[in-house]
Structure 1
Amino acid sequence: MQSSSQLTSVRTHNIFHSEHQPLDAIFSPKTIAVIGASEREDSVGRTLLWNLISNPFGGTVFPVNPKRNSILGIKAYPNIAAVPESIDLAVIATPAATVSSVINECVNAGVKGAIVLSAGFKEIGSSGVELERQILEQVNQSQMRLIGPNCLGVMNPYTGLNATFASSMARPGKVGFISQSGALCTAILDWSFQENVGFSSFISIGSMLDVGWGDLIYYLGDDPNTESIVIYMESIGDARSFLSAAREVALSKPIIVIKAGRTEAAAQAAASHTGALAGSDAVFDAALRRCGVLRVNRISELFDMAEVLAKQPRPKGKRLTIITNAGGPGVLATDALISDGGELAQLSPQTHDALNQLLPPSGNHSNPIDLLGDADSTRYVKTLEITAKDPNTDGLLVILTPQAMTNPTQTANLLSSYAKTGKPVLASWMGEQNVKAGAEILNQASIPTFSYPDTAARVFNYMWRYSYNLRGLYETPVLANQGAEVCERILVETIIQKARQAGRTLLTEVESKQILAAYGIPTVETRLATTVEEAIQQASEIGYPVVLKLYSYTITHKTDVGGVHLNLCCGDAVREAYNTVQTSVTSKVGASHFGGVTIQPMVDLKNSYELILGSSIDSQFGPVLLFGTGGQLVEVFEDRALALPPLNTTLARRMMEQTRIYKALQGVRGRTSVDLEALEQLLVRFSQLVVEQPWIKEIDINPLLAKPGNKNSLIALDGRIVLHNLDIKQEQLPLPAIRPYPVQYISAWTMRNGKEVTIRPIRPEDEPLMIQFHQTLSEESVYFRYFHLIKLSQRIAHERLTRLCFIDYDREIALVADYKNPETEQHEILGVGRLSKLHGKKEAEFGILVSDYCQCQGLGTELLKQLLQVSKNENLTGIHADILADNVGMQRVCQKLGFRITPSSETSVIKAEILLTSERD
């Protein structure tokens, strides 16, 4: 009889190197056709062909040119169909107008990959755009992948592939380089020879008509020769694909980006404060923070950071200790450190005592530590040893200037043994010939050296910022209070649709506050009055003093037309304010723009903070969130942080931390802190509103009032919501760049024993529940899931579970069976089904694991059924998994659901696979 655990245990594994990846045809081809090959001097076709045949890549090259029988002594063919072998890669260097027909011939010939070097496409206008459309239409109807057009080509230095028209072949190395500029590629290539920098891949991506950033990041992430990925970017392309790939790969390999267009001006015409504040480059920064990618400002920093992150550990914080034998360089490093957000480490009393015993009295024993000009090698080494142990130190910078008593080479020799202190160690050996040998010793020992100390300090700032971003991917958030219930979502959608049906894109303040309240965001009591008498009555019922505001279907900023009156203390004051607002609006913009007024209680702003919370649409990344200092001078202070929705509590706190007002919110000058946890929860609910209501174009809460020391201290005093234009269709609405929580995959289900569970996608907040889940598994269940035993301590390690819980729903879907125990009122996870899409394919692997005491209750079968439906909804062409040959029960479940069972290359393993007809949501 089969063990029950066998029925619900399936293993998945990364099969990237055991099965063909589509981009292999481009980076590791065995046969290449050069279409447009030529013997004409200085032509692209000749240079390309020569590069391929003069750098053996282990394959065969076939020139294609209808006008030549041979080129460079190699037999040529009139077209791709005439080539006698199947072609992995076609490199196309023909005029733009001919490329569409060439691609058609390649598709018909079964070519697997193509690189289009030709220019003359969208960069020349509408005619080029139409040519790209024709090419993409053909590519989408085939299995072929295409890089370009308008690119330099690609190199694989490890195989010798040089499918470019560059003048030289890159050296082999550990850096995967991708550039959107072909001209920059050639400049970087020249520079790399001088600096002895090598590459695992050297890629010019061009216009990204088909293969984009996401495809290449995934490919290099799987490539064993690539240790870091360096990118020169001009445009983001498919933002969701880029962020999804970058977030996954950045956890194991550094991704460093430099982007042109940092100074691009934000759009000036915006209906909300948020729209005016959220510039596109700042949004790009927010996007990179969200996925753990490091952005640098200079081309040299791209490779500096690739080297540093490969050689030294990431710092845990921003506190740097500086050791120097000259005061001036130490001050320069300090200025560079602090001006860009870093901090000098405050050395502990124990460290000070040890330094006092070691160093001459006349030196500075505080940070930066001045060893004086007569410092010998021993003084350097002992100081580094002492400060490296200081718990307040996150990193160390050692500065040496060549002086009479200093031996740069001997000092470097002694310091080289401290390359692995557990904290990053950087060095600045200042000078030329006198320090050259010492600098080389340090570099060889994996201690990066820099000619100038301020450069080293900036590098450290990049390091801690990169570490900070990555740490956000690992931190376990607190489960947020839920946003709107189903009935409240219907109310919100009704408000929005009524406004659209009335021809309005601007919601009134009352409507806006109703929507905020539906998502659990507290709002100040607001009553509508359309006559003077009604306004006086509402004011007396609320209680004086009150605020009177213009109520209008068309006017966005009420203060522009004198539409806000504060601190009204009696009926006569309300009457006067009402008449003043009506007269002002009528005279300035017309009576039709006056719809009455709203009456609110006058809220005491004393000892409170005015915040702003908003969202607007970025042309590349879709909805963007903004948080910061609010009030009337919000555009003047410009104290704000941006983030991409959706948020969890960890991401919400990170967003708050980036603002200057955050320090005040924590409590300053005797004030207590505001309720930061409640503010986190409010930000999370607001982000849920943004992703669940795509008809909203811009939304402001300004001010959002925060009172210190009060559990009910958060209240929205004003709300403004702008909808998308009426001529926009639902399928044209901008999507969030990061896929939100897929609520469509939540369902109720009853087990055979009567237990009612909710099957839903996993959440980052589920880490504690997953720890409990793994404690319910027997060794047998673990073995049948993973094909080997894994200790409980390893299975519940934080770094492992965060990867399993904090997933990218665009790349992976994990369904959990969530059971609320009626006795303890606590939630439990009883089973997990996971679907992981394969890189470069529309296929996925699946895995199932069920708690021992819940097996034989149909849960494993139900999870697999739902994964099948998810696969269809996600437009996958097939899913598969490996099952132990002894696991007959699981094989039967798969067969019952339509899977085909076949032997695999491992005798003890059976493969279960199914082809799907995809369905769209």
Structure 2
Amino acid sequence: MNPIEGHLPTRSPLHDILAPSGIAVVGASADPTKRGYKAMVGLIKDGYRGEIYPVNPKADMILGVKAWPSVTAIPGNPELALLCTPAATVPGLIAECGRRGIKGAVILASGFAETGEEGAALEREMMEKARAHGVRIIGPNTSGIFNLHHRVNLLSLDNVKPGDVGIISQSGNMLLSLALEAQHNGQVGFSTYVGPGNQSDIGFNDYLRYLGEDHHTRVATLYVEGFRDGRKFLEVAREVAAMKPVVVYKSGSTAAGQKAASSHTGALAGSYAMTVDLLKQSGVSVVHQSDEILPVAEGLGLLQKARGKRVAVISDGGGQATIASDRLSEAGLELAELSEATRAKLREVLFPQASTVNPVDVAGSTDANPSLLATCMEIVAADDNVDSVFLVGMFGGYSLRFAESLLGDEMRGAEAMVDLSKATEKPLVIYSLYTPVKPPALRRLHEAGLPVYASIEHAVRVLSALGERGQYLAQARGQSREQSVEPRPELTAMFHAARAEGRDLFEYEAKRLLREHGIEVPLELVVRSEQELTDAAGRFGETPLAMKVVSKDILHKSDAGGVRLNLVGEAAMHEAREAILASCRAYDASAEIEGVLVTPMAKKGVEVILGVIRDPIFGPVLMFGLGGIFVEILEDVAFRSIPLSRQDAESMVEQIKAKKILGGVRGEKPVDKAALVDLLIKVSRIVEAYPALSELDLNPVIVNADGYAVVDARVIVERDSETTDKDADA
């Protein structure tokens, strides 16, 4: 089943666990300082409809509910157990849960893999028991769960209303922050929350699949410190994002943050920039500031998507219109070019001094009649050049700022905006400086499900997410996977030979791999003797040549003096060969030198770099960027998970900040982007076909108006025995 058609191919087993018909609270307590007490209070106060089974061998009743001395003594059939006991007791309790037929356990205790080897051993013992008895584990080291639509509140949080935002957060404090923010907002409610903890069993991809299937959840929201199985998460994210928005805040964007994430959860935190690109490739809306999480989740939940990134701004103040325009541009959005017909209609209702170009500045036209703002929104929303409408200013506060008699006009304006939101598929987003005051007109918009923000920046981030999601869905529907290639036996044998010799592919072997799969590689010759050099000179004639050392022991040729450029004629070639051999022997006297590689100099063009790694979390990943300072200092690169679609490859080329250079600067012709996209796709196919390819580095590749030239190629061979077996089978 294609996930675009509307549902995931399999049902998550988490439904029974997260919406259980009975719950055992192991370690239930009458002590208000204990989690076993708080969980009982949360279930009772929220009116949980299922059976509650407190387990405590020292009590007959807890908070008016009959207690049981052990899990196995429970008479009913709870589907979920909450373990509020110390870490050392957990393995034995999991075995008891399994014998009782309990399907899942929420383990609050810390003291497992996040604390060191002793804790890791305890976690392994716990998982052995869980697998043997068929018990799924949430945690350990989890903050807990709630499912508000089923009145399952194991955190005992107060004043959190049911809604359609599902949250998975590796930080319990982040949940508390979002819950408090939601209380202040008054509009956002939650469906399910899970703290995944150490993810010893159930991981982010499992929780995301559940939220994708949960009909109470309109937007899945995740706070992530580290993934266990990032590649599986990307796969599930693509399926879920086709049906509903997925919002991720990934912490660990700095080296310090990554270290903190690892020590906090025992999770691996990879490259932040790479993770963001891969998440976006899978349709995820990534937020970079913690205070953006809830606004973006709310906006996407309410509005879902925009057709594109063209925004019409309507403002009752020039300064804020300018600020909005700046933020929109910085976010990669466009100010829509309003049609002449739209501008004419605006001129009919606004004062002559009003500006009807985008951003529209009403210039006092609404001071005596604020409902005109709704009229302007309706006019611009009808323009085919507009994808979203952004109202900026003081709507809702006219009756407070000018005259109480304007309240009626503001309420009529609010009703007109509500009617417009029902009549158009284009998102309507409102920023008002009076939002914190919650005046009646803004409360009416809130009640009707229109997002109203107290920050221009938050509103713009929502507009950006809506546009990105709309574009992703449009591309995903027309996206088809590029045809794969079959590995060739002679090239597979080349990998085996290199591995047997304990080396990586020689450059000429790496280029052969590329050439055999349709990548244009210049003619090159390996010269091992004076006679072969003479033969090569005769073959190339007066063509300017490059010469590089061939040695399994010298990876960085330039550092060893193993490269000479612009060689013309046999004499220059002989002199260069001697210099290269002498320099490389001085660099590493023990290096085994096979010879030198001779190839024509590449034509003038733009240097780019293509790199592939097999990331331990996300699997094979392709990197692209401009070469030189752009990759070394500015780190202006794009990442995509392999395999690539054509849209993926095209978006990589368009993503880099220095892409204008590819379009031609200072009189240079634009490079052949189609050839570059084709190169990216062919590299992706090669990586899929040869599991023994651990890393690939094409640096530089010279691109120009006529295509590209692969100047240097390096392939690192996987040494792992399992990969050897897979490659042999291929």
Is the TM-score greater than 0.5? Answer: yes
Whether 2:312 is the aligned partner of 1:321: answer yes
CA distance in 2, matches of 1:550, 1:677: 32
Contact 1:427–1:450 (8 Å) recurs in 2: yes
CA distance in 2, matches of 1:732, 1:265: 36
CA distance in 2, matches of 1:342, 1:662: 17
User: Which residue of the partner structure matches residue 917 of structure 1?
Assistant: none
Q: Secondary structure at the match of 2:109?
A: coil
Q: Deviations over 1:877-906 (max 9, x none)?
A: xxxxxxxxxxxxxxxxxxxxxxxxxxxxxx
Distance 1:632 1:560, change over 3 A: farther
User: Which residue of the partner structure matches residue 443 of structure 2?
Assistant: 440
> Which amino acid is 2:43 matched to?
L
Contact 2:547–2:599 (8 Å) recurs in 1: yes
Contact 1:181–1:232 (8 Å) recurs in 2: yes
Whether 2:85 is the aligned partner of 1:94: answer yes
Shifted more, 233-242 versus 349-358: the winner is: 349-358
Whether 2:140 is the aligned partner of 1:140: answer no
Deviation at 1:147, TM superposition (A): 0.9
Deviation at 1:121, TM superposition (A): 0.9
Q: How does 1:838-857 map to 2 (within 5 A)?
A: none
Distance 1:179 1:313, change over 3 A: closer
Whether 2:727 is the aligned partner of 1:729: answer no
Distance 1:633 1:284, change over 3 A: closer
CA distance in 1, matches of 2:278, 2:415: 42
Q: Secondary structure at the match of 1:229?
A: strand
Flag the structure with more relative contact order, 1 or 2, with Cα contacts below 8 A and sequence separation at least 6.
1
User: Which residue of the partner structure matches residue 184 of structure 2?
Assistant: 194
Contact 2:252–2:258 (8 Å) recurs in 1: no
Equivalent in 163, 171, 175 of residue 181 of structure 1: 171
> Which amino acid is 1:508 matched to?
F
CA distance in 2, matches of 1:20, 1:469: 25
CA distance in 2, matches of 1:473, 1:518: 31
Q: Deviations over 1:698-724 (max 9, x none)?
A: 21112223231x4xx233121111123
Q: How does 1:165-314 map to 2 (within 5 A)?
A: 166-168=156-158, 170-196=160-186, 197-264=188-255, 280-312=271-303, 314=305
Distance 1:411 1:15, change over 3 A: closer
Distance 1:555 1:354, change over 3 A: farther
Unaligned runs of 5+ residues in structure 2 are: 260-268
Equivalent in 677, 689, 694 of residue 692 of structure 1: 689
Whether 2:440 is the aligned partner of 1:428: answer no
Distance 1:358 1:75, change over 3 A: closer
Distance 1:640 1:578, change over 3 A: same
Q: Deviations over 1:253-304 (max 9, x none)?
A: 1111112112237999xxxxxxxxx971112112211221111123332221
User: Which residue of the partner structure matches residue 479 of structure 2?
Assistant: 476
> Which amino acid is 2:232 matched to?
S
> Which amino acid is 2:182 matched to?
S
Distance 1:85 1:357, change over 3 A: closer
Q: Secondary structure at the match of 1:611?
A: strand
Whether 2:379 is the aligned partner of 1:386: answer yes
User: Which residue of the partner structure matches residue 262 of structure 2?
Assistant: none
Deviation at 1:600, TM superposition (A): 0.6
Deviation at 1:507, TM superposition (A): 2.1
Q: How does 1:518-529 map to 2 (within 5 A)?
A: 518-529=516-527
User: Which residue of the partner structure matches residue 449 of structure 1?
Assistant: 452
User: Which residue of the partner structure matches residue 29 of structure 1?
Assistant: 20
CA distance in 1, matches of 2:370, 2:63: 61
CA distance in 1, matches of 2:438, 2:64: 52
Deviation at 1:682, TM superposition (A): 2.5
Q: Secondary structure at the match of 2:356?
A: coil
Contact 1:701–1:719 (8 Å) recurs in 2: yes
Contact 1:214–1:245 (8 Å) recurs in 2: yes
Q: Deviations over 1:726-760 (max 9, x none)?
A: 4x32269999xxxxxxx99xxxxxxxxxxxxxxxx
Contact 1:629–1:637 (8 Å) recurs in 2: no
Distance 1:672 1:433, change over 3 A: closer
User: Which residue of the partner structure matches residue 568 of structure 2?
Assistant: 569
Contact 2:48–2:150 (8 Å) recurs in 1: yes
Q: What's the RMSD between the two structures over aligned residues?
A: 3.1
CA distance in 2, matches of 1:639, 1:729: 35
Distance 1:471 1:129, change over 3 A: farther
CA distance in 1, matches of 2:660, 2:474: 21
Contact 2:29–2:62 (8 Å) recurs in 1: yes
Distance 1:145 1:614, change over 3 A: same
TM-score normalized by the length of structure 2: 0.89
Contact 1:22–1:112 (8 Å) recurs in 2: no
Contact 2:55–2:67 (8 Å) recurs in 1: yes
Equivalent in 607, 611, 620 of residue 610 of structure 1: 607
> Which amino acid is 1:512 matched to?
A
Distance 1:84 1:120, change over 3 A: same
TM-score normalized by the length of structure 1: 0.71
> Which amino acid is 2:722 matched to?
Q
User: Which residue of the partner structure matches residue 415 of structure 1?
Assistant: 417
Contact 2:453–2:459 (8 Å) recurs in 1: yes
Equivalent in 611, 618, 621 of residue 621 of structure 1: 618
Contact 2:29–2:56 (8 Å) recurs in 1: yes
User: Which residue of the partner structure matches residue 458 of structure 1?
Assistant: 461
CA distance in 2, matches of 1:734, 1:163: 46
User: Which residue of the partner structure matches residue 860 of structure 1?
Assistant: none
Equivalent in 637, 656, 661 of residue 659 of structure 1: 656
Contact 2:6–2:243 (8 Å) recurs in 1: no
Q: Secondary structure at the match of 1:684?
A: helix
Q: Secondary structure at the match of 2:533?
A: helix
Contact 2:550–2:594 (8 Å) recurs in 1: yes
Distance 1:532 1:231, change over 3 A: same
> Which amino acid is 1:575 matched to?
H
Contact 1:280–1:618 (8 Å) recurs in 2: no
CA distance in 2, matches of 1:683, 1:397: 38
User: Which residue of the partner structure matches residue 507 of structure 1?
Assistant: 505
Equivalent in 389, 402, 405 of residue 396 of structure 1: 389
Contact 1:330–1:453 (8 Å) recurs in 2: no
Identity between Structure 1 and Structure 2 (%)? 34
> Which amino acid is 1:187 matched to?
S
Q: Secondary structure at the match of 1:595?
A: strand
Contact 1:313–1:422 (8 Å) recurs in 2: no
Whether 2:720 is the aligned partner of 1:717: answer no
CA distance in 2, matches of 1:393, 1:64: 60
CA distance in 1, matches of 2:30, 2:726: 49
CA distance in 1, matches of 2:71, 2:482: 58
Contact 2:107–2:139 (8 Å) recurs in 1: yes
User: Which residue of the partner structure matches residue 559 of structure 1?
Assistant: 558
Q: Secondary structure at the match of 1:300?
A: helix
Contact 1:535–1:597 (8 Å) recurs in 2: no
Distance 1:51 1:377, change over 3 A: closer
Deviation at 1:333, TM superposition (A): 0.8
> Which amino acid is 2:564 matched to?
H
Distance 1:662 1:301, change over 3 A: same
Whether 2:635 is the aligned partner of 1:638: answer yes
Contact 2:624–2:637 (8 Å) recurs in 1: yes
